[in-house]
Each structure stands twice: as C-alpha cells, then as structure tokens.
Amino acid sequence: MKQLLTIKFKTMIETRLYLKALEIVNCYHEQVRKEALEVKVTQGFKVVRDYRDLRLVEPDDTVICVFKHLSSKFTITREYKVLRTDDYRFIIENDNGVKKWMHKTNGHFKLL
C-alpha cells in the first residue's frame, strides 16, 4: 500500500509586491465606494454625482430617484421637482401625476 505525502509550501511575497497589491485593492474599494454614492448613466458614460444633504431640500429643488420598491410609481435616475416641504418631509409628483409626501430621511431620493 502506497502512502501519499502531502507537501505544503509556504511562500512569502516581497514587501514591494504586497504594497502594490494592497494599492490595487484599495483603488478597487474606492471605485466601488464612489459607484455606491449613486451613478447616473448619461449617453453610455458613467458620471459620479455628488449629492447634497436631503435634509436641506427646499421648494423648486430637484431630487433624483436612486432606489424604488417594485410597486413604486417612480423611475430610477429620473429627476423630480420638489413642490413643497416641511420640517421632516417634502412633496413630489410621481410618474402617474399623484403628489406624494416623502420623508427627508428616505434613502430612495438624493438632492441634486
């Protein structure tokens, strides 16, 4: 009966190669973070947009839909005009023409 030997090799990489790999991983994470900040697709190009704090929304400002529920009557990446605001909410008109109150803490919209 033959016995199988398992040989384990421990390899070390040079510090220079480790730092280069770490830089690549960090760049990748930064890219993913920027894309998570919401990306607007315009004519096939991705343009990263910086959004203002939604708590600062005022009438006649524009918000963009960045997330929606399946039954929602809003369209992702579409911009909506703010009609009215109060301390905690704002009103916008959905795709069916119905005015809806949205909370300023709502993660579905971002202020342009």
Task: Map out the domains of the chain as residue ranges.
Answer: 15-48, 54-111
**Whole-prediction pTM:** 0.55
SS3 for 54? Answer: helix
Residue-level pLDDT at 84: 93
pLDDT tens, residue order, the chain (112 aa): 455 555 565 667 788 888 888 888 888 877 776 666 555 444 455 555 567 788 888 899 999 888 887 778 888 888 999 999 998 899 999 999 999 999 988 888 888 8
Residue-level pLDDT at 32: 72
Residue-level pLDDT at 112: 82
Instruction: Take residue 42 and report the two structure tokens written for it.
Output: 């315009």
CA distance 40 to 49: 7
Residue-level pLDDT at 5: 56
Q: 82-85 long-range contacts, Cβ below 8 Å, gap at least 24? A: 82/57, 82/58, 83/59, 84/59, 85/57, 85/58, 85/59
Closest CA to 78 of 67, 64, 92, 88: 64
Residue-level pLDDT at 105: 85
The domain defined by 54-111 folds into: SH3 type barrels. (2.30.30)
Residue-level pLDDT at 43: 47
